[in-house]
């Protein structure tokens, strides 16, 4: 008699968007309009975002990369200038500096949070430094008050890479409140998305105006203005790029804005469930989120033994858990090594994060049951053993039944079958 296989549990994807009927209806409405490019739908999203963030103006663009690029250009940062960027980030942060013709100077980060601090940034300032780009990694707002004080004292600009952070608050600090501008992303996995898109948020209306112009080749009137009104000649005052956002994508944004805080709250709860389950587990380190409000909880990353990280990625994937790495240290990627001569050992904390980190599934429609399946898979592969006697924790319901749990400082897991992750390494899957 052949045994029947139990139905495999569906995969927990790394991310699922929460776009629904409202967004679909708005796209259809946008398609019925005469102007498909930048127009009413984009303007509505810009106003709603500005109101949400409490800033004077938001300019929607093609991507956060475009926003970073134009933030630099609109502040006349270019060849001969240096811009300090963290090495623990997505390549876009540094690439935008190169795109502007300036030199990215990578800085290390606080190993507990992944964010830059005064201590990491100060030694990187030279007479050529024009700006610092703090990245609110995984959603945690950097200490913008102290960075703003440093920037004032050294006559530097702060341009926030806020791709991970719309919703966080740190006392009176929010994205764009203590900087020249904040660059936002509406990329497919972000808190609000239109597939590809971004924006620049600022309290400086003149900066917003220049960014708008630079997003349209440097032309001083938008397509909607050119076609809606009686024809008039337009001028191109400076060389710009083609970075404006169209109404079709822009129409997706507005309905998502009122849901931002509720979705962030759900992500916070999922993260807290993860943290409860992973507290004090041998071989697993969590990032610090000093206060709940300080992080928008865009990503949930754990850190594991660098020797085992890639095998653990495979092992989690095989157990139906979507995982990615955010981020391998940018200064060690081939382009930056070859062009600027960075070497391993230059920025040890960012390198350690890059070698050790794994991001787990996190999205607002993720259920507790899905979260628990991810937790079980992580504990199984990271814990590497069987249920240890002390398995009772506040997340008892989940953990009692978990295989492979070893408390930090506890006795080693009983010997027996080798755990799956080790088997994966032996099988040469790394
Ligand atoms: C930290 C960070 N900065 C910048 C970007 C670039 O965003 P976009 O894809 O909208 O250009 C991303 C995108 O994932 C990011 O994670």
- Comparing 68-77, 312-321, 377-386, which segment has the lowest mean pLDDT? 377-386
200 Cα: distance to centroid of ligand 1 (angstroms): 13
pLDDT tier at 145 (50, 70, 90 boundaries)?
A: very high
Ligand 1 pocket, 62 CB below 6 A?
Answer: no
| Catalytic position from the list 190, 229, 230, 242 | 190
Most confident of 222-236, 318-332, 379-393: 318-332
Q: Which fold has domain 21-258?
A: 3.40.640
Is residue 190 part of the annotated active site? The answer reads yes
Provide the whole-model pTM.
0.90
Top-tier CATH class for 260-426: alpha beta
Ligand 1 pocket, 65 CB below 6 A?
Answer: yes
The per-residue pLDDT for 6 is: 60
Q: What is the mean pLDDT of the chain?
A: 89
pLDDT tier at 167 (50, 70, 90 boundaries)?
A: very high
Ligand 1 pocket, 163 CB below 6 A?
Answer: yes
The per-residue pLDDT for 158 is: 98
The per-residue pLDDT for 384 is: 52
Nearest CA to ligand 1 atom 7: 64
- The structural domains of the chain, with segments of one domain joined by +, span 21-258, 260-426
The per-residue pLDDT for 70 is: 98
64 Cα: distance to centroid of ligand 1 (angstroms): 6
**pLDDT of 400 strictly over 90:** no
Instruction: Decide if 148 contacts 179 (C-beta within 8 A).
Output: yes
Structure tokens at 341: 């001569």
For 177-218, write each residue's pLDDT tens digit. Answer: 999 999 999 999 999 999 999 999 999 999 999 999 999 999
């Amino acid at each position: 008699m052949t045994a029947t296989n139990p139905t495999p549990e569906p995969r927990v994807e790394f991310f699922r968007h929460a776009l629904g009927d409202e967004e679909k209806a708005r796209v259809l409405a946008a398609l019925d309009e005469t102007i498909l490019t930048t127009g009413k739908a984009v303007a509505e999203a810009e106003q709603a975002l500005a109101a949400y963030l409490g800033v004077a103006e938001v300019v929607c663009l093609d991507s956060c990369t475009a926003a970073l690029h134009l933030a630099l250009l609109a502040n006349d940062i270019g060849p001969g200038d240096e811009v300090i960027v963290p090495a623990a980030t997505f390549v876009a942060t540094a690439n935008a500096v190169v795109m502007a013709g300036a030199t990215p100077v990578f800085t290390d980060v606080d190993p507990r949070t992944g964010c830059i601090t005064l201590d990491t940034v100060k030694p990187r300032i030279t007479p050529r430094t024009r700006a610092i780009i703090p990245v609110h990694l995984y959603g945690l707002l950097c200490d913008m008050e102290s960075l703003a004080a440093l920037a004032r004292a050294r006559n530097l600009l702060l341009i926030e890479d806020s791709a991970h952070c719309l919703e966080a608050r740190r006392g009176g600090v929010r994205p764009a409140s203590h900087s020249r501008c904040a660059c936002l992303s509406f990329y497919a996995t972000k808190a609000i998305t239109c597939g590809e898109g971004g924006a620049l948020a600022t309290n400086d209306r003149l900066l917003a105006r220049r960014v708008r112009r630079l997003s349209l080749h440097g032309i001083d009137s938008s397509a909607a203005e050119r076609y809606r009104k009686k024809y008039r000649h337009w001028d191109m005052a400076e060389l710009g790029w083609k970075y404006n956002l169209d109404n079709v994508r822009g129409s997706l944004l507005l309905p998502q804005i009122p849901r931002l805080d509720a979705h962030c709250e759900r992500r916070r709860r999922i993260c807290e469930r993860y943290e409860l389950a992973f507290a004090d587990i041998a071989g697993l380190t969590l990032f610090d989120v000093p206060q709940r409000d300080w992080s928008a909880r865009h990503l949930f990353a754990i850190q594991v033994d660098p020797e085992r990280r890639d095998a653990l990625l495979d092992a989690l994937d095989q157990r139906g858990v979507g995982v990615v790495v955010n981020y391998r240290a940018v200064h060690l990627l081939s382009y930056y090594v070859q062009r600027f001569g960075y070497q391993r050992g230059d920025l040890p904390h960012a390198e350690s994060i890059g070698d050790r980190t794994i991001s787990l599934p996190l999205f607002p429609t993720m259920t507790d049951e899905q979260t628990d399946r991810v937790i079980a898979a992580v504990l199984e592969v990271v814990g590497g053993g069987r249920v240890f006697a002390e398995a009772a924790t506040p997340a008892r319901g989940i953990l009692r039944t978990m295989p492979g749990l070893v408390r930090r400082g506890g006795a080693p897991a009983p010997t027996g079958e080798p755990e799956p992750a080790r088997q994966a390494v032996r099988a040469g899957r790394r």
